[in-house]
Chains A and B, each alone.
Chain A
């Protein structure tokens, strides 16, 4: 079982719709959760971080964390063609041998079509 798994995609949504991206993780001691966006040929860009159960909203983005289910998701409201990218879920276990280490999922390719 991979440490971090994302829905394989690709995910295609029409402009203006809600895009839902999902991620599960295997290690219960995971403490920090991140969503990165990566455009083709570019480096990952941090768009959301979440540390406690519940929802966190930032503009059109909402991250949801459920530690009991070991599940984190990203919702993108009013999706725009400029949101078309690969979305990477990353988790971190604080301290010890986890210093500075983010474990990434394989990414979900999102396409928003006009």
Chain B
């Protein structure tokens, strides 16, 4: 099976702009979770989608949003970018509970200047 794919792999944006990141889960996986990874904060949970519904959200401002499509592909959007949004954004997919083994994509490296 193909793994989780994310596009684009690298992005450079300026403050105030917005960005959309895309994630395609492993075939058959319906749950998609998003994480932000920074050297200072480590891996932090952003949100999770299942069957096009956001079931859980982490402690991030409303500038961070996402959605999931009927084919389980997911996008996340960050509006009004700040310098502190520079990070590696990771998505992970998993089968339905109770197995929560999550498999990560390669990530999108976002740099905000």
Contacts and interface: CB of A to CB of B under 8 A. Distances in A.
Task: Tell whether A and B belong to one assembly.
Answer: yes
Interface extent on B, as a size class? 20 to 34
Contacts of A100: 31-33, 45, 47-50, 55-56, 94, 100, 102
Interface string B27-41: 000011101000000
Contact of B104 (A45, A94, A97): A45
A107 B97 CA distance: 25
A21 interface: no
Interface residues of A, number: 26
Nearest to A42: B106
Interface in B86-113: 88, 90, 92, 94, 97-98, 100-107
A46 B104 CA distance: 8
Contacts, number: 69
Given A94-B97, A99-B48, A106-B42, A44 B56 contact: no
B58 interface: yes
A49 interface: yes
Contact of A43 (B33, B45, B100, B107): B107
Given A43-B90, A94-B97, A99 B42 contact: no
B93 to A, nearest CB: 10
A46 B4 CA distance: 13
A90 B94 CA distance: 15
Contacts of B35: 102
Given A44-B104, A46-B103, A102-B33, A95 B97 contact: yes
A109 interface: no
A65 interface: no
Contacts of A46: 101-104
8 contacts: A43-B106, A100-B31, A101-B33, A101-B58, A102-B102, A104-B42, A104-B43, A104-B44
